[in-house]
Structures are given as C-alpha cells and as structure tokens.
Amino acid sequence: MKAVVFEAFAGPVTIQSVADPAPTRRGVVIRTEATGICRSDWHGWMGHDPAITSFPHVPGHEFAGVITHVGADVQKWQQGDRVTAPFSCGCGVCPQCEEGFPNICDNEFQPGFTAWGSFAENVAIRYAHENLVRLPDDLDYVAAAGLACRFMTAFRGVIDQGQVSEDQWVAVYGCGGVGLSAIMIAAVLGARVIGVDLSEEKLELSRSLGAAETVNVSETSDPAEAIRFLTSGGAHLSIDAFGGAETARNSILSLRKRGRHVQIGLTVGDESDVAIPMDQVIAREIEIVGSHGFRTSHYEEVFRMISDGKLDPGLLVKKTVSLEGAIGELESMADFDSLGMTVIDTF
C-alpha cells in the first residue's frame, strides 16, 4: 500500500510503498477514506511523543473508513462497515478501562504513535470491540475525520473536564482545530466565548463559529488582563488549546475566583515546563484540570447534536489534499499558519 513515511525524527517525509497491515485477533484493518492532519502528527514527527519508538513510521490518527479485514475474535464488526475510532484506544481490561476511562488506558493503542497510522491506504486498529464507532449514513468521511481527534477532544475538554454552563464566560487560547472546536461547542451550549490568538484571520473564523468576543494577542501586552476586563472579573472556564508555557499561564491568570483551567494543548519539548502562578491558584481557589482524548460514549451525543443541526464539524474543514499533498501540510505546521482543519481525502 501507499503511505506517508518518516525514518528519523525531523527527518525527510516521503511517500513509500509499504506492506499492507494484517488484523490482530481482536482487531480490524480499515481502508482509509479520509484522515485529518493534526498538530499531534507534527509533534510525533519532531520527536516530542515518546510513544514513537521505532522506524520507519507512518503517522496519522484522525481517520474514517471502511472495514476490509476482521480478526478471528471480532464478532461485532464485519467487512463493509463504515467506522471511526478515538486516537487513544482502550484495551478494555485494565483498571482505567474498567472504570470507564479508556482514554487513559494503561495499555493504550494509538494509531500513528504506538503503531503505524492512517496516512496510508489502510490502517490496522486493535481492540475493535472496545473502540470502533459506526458512522451515521448521512455523515461523510471528511466530516467524520474532522471529528476523530480534535473535535471530540475539545468536546470532552469543554463538557466533562470544563463542566461548562450556560452564560458562563469561556476563554479559548489558540484558534486552531482544537480551539475552534471548543469555541463552537461552548457557544452551542450557551456560553459566552472569547477566542484568543495572534492571527486576525483565525479570530474572524472563531467569531463565525460562535465567539462573542476575541482578543488578538499581538495587540495587547497582557491578554489575561484583557479577558478579566471583558468579563468583569475573569472567565469561569479557560482552555489552553494551543499548548505552550505562556498560553497555559495566561489561561490560568484569565480566570475569576473559583474558575477552572483545562489544559488540552500538548506542552512538549521546550514548552513542557509551565510556571504556574500558584499564589493565584491558592488565593482564588482555581482548579487546574488536564484533558486527554475522549471516550467512545461521547460519539452518540455528538452525532445527535449534528443530526439536530446544533453542531457542524464540517465547517472546521477548510482544505482537503491528496496523500502526496500531506507532506507539505505536515511540514508547514511549524509556522502555525493553517486555518481550521486540513483532511487527506485522496489516496
């Protein structure tokens, strides 16, 4: 099969012909119909994710497609089923999975990280019973791929971890794929959302998706102070969807008393050490919560909201490319210039 491959961290990325995957006894092989290009893929290529331990490697984790091969122990799924899956798949038997948190599974399987991913004509997924999700007939593959990581990750971050309520002020730092998803979701739930970014183009897109206010970081020396002014005291919920030492700190400082900071963006490499203003955390009784991935149970709720016309994740997909075009898109992520989501739809 044809796949995007890299053979060293930060090394050349090429299109190669590689062996087709085979299903494990509990797994399946899926023909990739669409797959998103996510900043996590860029982090993996740069060597920021310790889950990638061998080369050559095929990235990609936001996929939608059709089952072509089924493992010997798989009963629930069959060839021809239209499916997607979380980027962080649970094994179903560890303590975290048994408690209902497969997103932090002790034996997690991550396509594109712990194994070859979906920047290829086919992708193998383990633990099929525990992780595969059937796509609604009226949801196309490109929109489904847009859901598969960033949108669903934002959904968990806003609802489960952020515990957003109607009329609350919500600040979202970083208007990339995760941030724009969070803005759309929080706005649909009745929150008053503030988009925060350096790019006026991204802020304009955030307003079209429901942001009531925006803060352009390039025009203020203190975005946290600007948010406290806009909200008469601070946001109830602030999310770092970008993943940086400065954005995480500013997000915390944007909060009112008893506010909640949710860290979704990955703070890796040089950004891994965040100077937390602990005096403010104590004095204001601020909560700091991490959010990693999502649970398959959320899909049905999201599908209902899409069917009801409340959510339209397809609005976040601003570009589609071929598998060959994915190389340039991946390389350009170092510049943080991409608008919305880009999805590979031609293999």
Q: Is the pTM of this model over 0.95?
A: no
Helix 245-253 and helix 223-230, axial crossing angle in degrees, nearest 10: 30
**Do the domains spanning 2-149+294-346 and 163-290 agree at the CATH topology level?**
no
DSSP string, 71-120: -TT--S--TT-EEE--SSB--SSSHHHHTT-GGG-TT-B-BTTTB--SSB
Question: If we measure between CA atoms, which residue out of 286, 237, 233 comes closest to residue 258?
Answer: 286
Amino acid at 176: G
pLDDT at 47: 94
Q: Which residues, 6+ apart, have CB-to-CB distance to 125 below 8 Å? A: 27, 28, 29, 30, 85, 89, 109, 111, 131, 132
Q: Which residues of the chain have pLDDT under 50?
A: none
> What is the domain partition of the chain in residue ranges?
2-149+294-346, 163-290
**Which DSSP category does 56 fall into?**
S
What is the CA angle 63-69-73, rounded to 5? 105
CA distances in angstroms from 190 to 167, 181, 183, listed in the order given: 6, 15, 11
**Which CATH code for domain 163-290?**
3.40.50.720
d(CA 131, CA 119): 19
pLDDT score for 79: 98
Kindly tell me the burial class for residue 137, based on how many C-beta atoms sit within 10 Å of its own C-beta (0-12, 13-18, 19 or more).
exposed
Superfamily designation of domain 2-149+294-346: Medium-chain alcohol dehydrogenases, catalytic domain (3.90.180.10)
169: its two tokens = 């002020």
**Which helix (H) or strand (E) is 22 found in, with range?**
none
- Tell which residue, 202, 153, 155, has the closest CA to residue 318: 202
d(CA 5, CA 83): 24
Q: What is the pLDDT of residue 297?
A: 83
pLDDT in the model for residue 331: 93
What pLDDT score does 270 carry? 79
